Amino acid sequence: MDVKKTNLSAYDETTVPQVGDLRIGIVVSEWNREITGKLLEGAINTLTKFGAKEGNLDIHWVPGSFELTAGAAMLIESTKPDAIICLGCVIQGETRHFEFICQAVGQGLTQLSIKTLVPVIFGVLTTDTFAQAIDRAGGAHGNKGEEAAITALKMGWLKRGLS
């Protein structure tokens, strides 16, 4: 597959359930807001396309991607959502900070999902460059926010079906 020409967010609409009465929490990083704002827009547009109303969504901002785990945990505790979408963007710099943040966020969100049995969706871009992030936030490769929204719908309904 030639990633340079591929919309990585393409999906089959017939496989995506309607929102119905699912409650979706969204936690968004303020860091790299030019990118995360586009991810949020993609997620909201996709959820709206599948029937979300204002009452279905609970959106909160946190300072950076590292804080996504704590923000998601607080939202799970306070609102009991069916799924949480975490949106962030970490871009490789000159130090190892990138590695530590990416690993901590990935492990933190995974552990939170396992501990609470609430699907916590990893919508965090981990790119080498700002240009790569733009390509994945509504650019040439689609919008990771859209992908996260679809995953939240599918996992939210799986959770409901198994409860």
Whole-number Å distance between alpha carbons of 121 and 118: 9
Enumerate residues 6+ apart whose C-beta is below 8 A from 53: 19
* Owner of token pair 């340079």: 4
Q: What average pLDDT score do residues 106-125 get?
A: 97
Q: What is the mean pLDDT of residues 77-82?
A: 96
Phi–psi pair at 61, nearest 5 degrees: -105, 145
Look at residue 126 and tell me whether its pLDDT is greater than 90: yes
* 97 assigned to active site: yes
Q: How confident is the model at residue 4 (pLDDT cuts 50, 70, 90)?
A: low
Amino acid 56: pLDDT: 93
**Average pLDDT, rounded, for the chain:** 93
Average pLDDT over residues 80-84: 97
Question: What type of residue sits at position 161?
Answer: G
Percent of the chain predicted with pLDDT > 70: 96
pLDDT at position 1 over 60:
no
DSSP H or E stretch at residue 110: helix 97-116
| Nearest residue to 151 (alpha-carbon basis) of 53, 60, 22, 31 | 22
* Domain-wise residue ranges, the chain: 44-54+64-128+139-163
Q: Strand 142-143 and strand 137-139: pairing?
A: antiparallel
> Do β-strands 83-91 and 57-62 pair in parallel, antiparallel, or remain unpaired?
unpaired
Average pLDDT rounded to a whole number, residues 61-85: 97
Q: Does the pLDDT of residue 24 top 80, yes or no?
A: yes
CATH architecture of structural domain 44-54+64-128+139-163: 3-Layer(aba) Sandwich (3.40)
Sign for the pseudo-dihedral over CA of 91, 94, 95, 96: positive
- Poorest-confidence range of 46-50, 60-64, 76-80, 94-98? 94-98
Q: What is the arithmetic mean of pLDDT over 78-100?
A: 92
Which two tokens mark 146?
Answer: 């859209």
CA 76 to the chain's CA centroid: 15
**Residue 163: pLDDT band by 50, 70, 90 thresholds?**
confident
Residue 44 corresponds to which tokens in the numbers above?
């909201």
Q: Is the pLDDT of residue 95 over 50?
A: yes
Active-site choice (33, 53, 80, 97) = 97
Q: Answer yes or no: is pLDDT of 65 > 80.
A: yes
Q: Quick one: average pLDDT of 14-40?
A: 95
* E strand or H helix that includes residue 147: helix 144-162
